Structure 1
């Protein structure tokens, strides 16, 4: 048995922190399913998140997708140097969601390299993240396009 402490998987870190960093998302039941450098997937249950006509409330669909920007940034960039924020996010509702939903997004390696270099040189770097939200049958219920920013601490 090793004396070194094992670093928890990124999804575990995100889920542990969500209650304190974004309590409203935690109360919705937003959960990180898979988080690794350049990729994140989240889910949220339909139970407790419905609206007046039996579909998932629009704000919940927005939230499960928006969380991806922070999750990817935490898994991809040096958190002791940088932190993420969302500057703008557009959501495109495609179909009513009547089941639990899954959202996912990714950043290609060349974009990660660009963001890292620019943030190190200028103290910040904007990047675009597109997410797809699907229901339990794989039907696309929403898509988002967000402008996120990676910022250097203290700058």
Structure 2
């Protein structure tokens, strides 16, 4: 799941999806956002989701469409976790309630703790995967 994104200078920056989580929520939108904020995410209200970022959500929705189902209304939001770790979230609405939520992380190691916190407050996880960053240690020996 790769997508190249251009920066202001015109050079291509390759970004990749490092994690996806899908939840069954069944809560009002305001309560859903409050749950996310209580789980350590901060909504970036000043930042509208641009087409490049929305493309990540589109790719994930297309890949996991069977789990997500079909909805007439979707709402996309950008949240931040800790040090500038963006989490893209697409809410699938039934009326005024969030039926399901799709979380997409663009950095390794972001979703695991968020998912645990959301499960602890009653969110039902339907799916999750995350690419884990491996630390390699280098040993120097004298022979």
TM-score, shorter chain, exceeding 0.5: no
- Which is helix-richer, 1 or 2? 1
Provide TM-score, normalisation by structure 1: 0.32
Is the strand fraction higher in 1 or 2? 2
TM-score between both structures, scaled by the size of structure 2: 0.34
